[in-house]
C-alpha cells in the first residue's frame, strides 16, 4: 500500500505570471511556499486540505477533463468577493438537485473551478456515531 505523506495538484499555465496573479491576488489563496527564481518560479498555495502548485509553463491548453473543486463556507459571499475582484463568473451560485450550492469560474487558461457550499442539513455533513 502506498503511504501518502502529502499531495498537491500541479498546474502548468500558459502564462505563469497571469496565473499567479489570478490564484494569489484575485482568488486570494494563501502561499504555502515559493521556489525558483524568475518569471517561471513556482508557487504552492494552500488549498483547504491540500495544495495547488502553479509552476513551469505549458504550450498546450489544459485538459478539459481537469477541474478544481473548492469547498467554501459561504458561496454567495465568495461570489460577491470574486466579482468585486474582477473574476468572471461562468455560472452564479445555484442549489443543485443533489443539495450542494455550486458556483463556477475558470482560471486564465480555462481550467474550470467549482466553488461549493455544503449546507448544514446536507448528508455530506452527517457522520454516523458522532
What was the pLDDT predicted at 94? 97
Contact 83, 91 (CB under 8 A): no
**Global confidence as pTM:** 0.88
CA-wise closest residue to 55 among 10, 112, 18? 10
- The mean of the pLDDT values for the chain is 92
Model confidence at 129: pLDDT above 80 = no
Closest CA to 89 of 68, 72, 103, 71: 103
Q: List, as own/partner pairs, every contact residues 89-93 make where C-beta atoms lie below 8 angstroms and the sequence separation is at least 24, other chains included.
A: 93/117
**What is the tens place of the pLDDT at every residue in 38-80?**
888 999 999 988 999 999 999 998 888 999 999 999 999 999 9
Q: What is the pLDDT of residue 40?
A: 80
Residue 130, pLDDT score: 62
Amino acid at each position: 500500500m502506498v503511504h501518502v505523506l502529502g499531495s498537491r495538484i500541479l498546474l502548468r499555465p500558459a502564462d505563469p505570471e497571469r496565473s499567479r496573479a489570478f490564484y494569489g491576488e484575485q482568488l486570494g489563496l494563501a502561499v504555502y511556499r515559493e521556489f525558483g527564481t524568475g518569471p517561471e518560479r513556482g508557487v504552492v498555495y494552500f488549498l483547504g486540505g491540500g495544495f495547488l502548485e502553479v509552476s513551469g509553463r505549458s504550450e498546450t491548453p489544459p485538459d478539459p477533463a481537469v477541474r478544481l473543486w473548492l469547498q467554501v463556507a459561504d458561496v454567495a459571499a465568495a461570489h460577491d468577493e470574486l466579482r468585486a475582484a474582477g473574476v468572471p463568473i461562468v455560472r452564479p451560485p445555484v442549489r443543485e438537485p443533489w443539495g450542494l450550492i455550486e458556483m463556477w469560474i475558470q482560471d486564465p487558461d480555462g481550467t474550470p473551478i467549482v466553488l461549493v457550499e455544503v449546507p448544514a442539513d446536507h448528508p455530506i455533513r452527517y457522520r454516523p456515531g458522532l
